[in-house]
Amino acid sequence: MAPDTPVVLAVDTSHQVAVGLARGGEVLATLVVADPRAHVEQLTPSVTDCLAAAGLGIEQVGSVVIGLGPGPFTGLRVGIVTGWTLAATRGIGWEGVCSLDVIARQWPDDAEVPDDFVVCSDARRSEVYWARYRDGARVDGPHVAAPGELPDLPTTGPGVEHHAEHLGDRVIDGPRALDPGVMAAIGWQLPSAGAEPLYLRRPDATEPGRRKSALPTGPRLLRGLTPRAGQEQP
């Protein structure tokens, strides 16, 4: 591979911390931290370690592919902001992709891929994120729903590990976790997911509304008070 071929960095925190590097479709290095709650602490060191494993410096990264989810609010936001910041700092392009689309493209070459199938991931609260694929292309979703509400189709992805009892015989032997090497290698070939994170539901933590006064208002406040000089009693 020519040394001047751009290096693509992939970053995804829709579930685990996943970092990958590829050049011209060739995977150079990957790093996955199997802790869905360590995004803040682990993402930046993971990018550094992945680059070191490939013998590269951050200045050699030519573009960034960012997983936009769907995923839980806090973890997903960490990956997206980190990817945006890195691209802006370096002055390089970035592309946002649906994380489920990556998993849907991870079938081995010799696998019998169903014509119609579902990829799902754990959404917590006894729910899954899911999307439907036909001939490898997403035709529905992503959505968030209870496992029992998914289409009656062959289903794979990281969500089946958590919800196999509800998915029953829909579960098939297919890709189970996002591979950041694949994401880096084909990310720019996937449909753009735009620029907005795919949260799919409101975060648990919300900004507080306007504080309500505990004092009575209007005539109730003034009733029984003596008016000031020059003022009429309400």
- Please state, in angstroms and rounded to a whole number, the distance separating the CA atoms of residues 170 and 120: 12
pTM score, whole prediction: 0.84
Q: Are 24 and 185 in contact (CB under 8 A)?
A: no
Rg (CA), the chain: 24
Domains of the chain with CATH codes: 1-105+178-201 (3.30.420.40), 107-177 (3.30.420.40)
- Please state, in angstroms and rounded to a whole number, the distance separating the CA atoms of residues 229 and 175: 81
The model's confidence at residue 39, banded by pLDDT at 50, 70 and 90, is: confident
Name which of 12, 15, 14 is nearest 30 in CA terms. Answer: 12
Q: According to the model, what pLDDT value does residue 220 have?
A: 38
Interval 213-230 mean pLDDT: 40
Supply φ then ψ for residue 27, to 5 degrees. -70, 130
Supply φ then ψ for residue 131, to 5 degrees. -145, 150
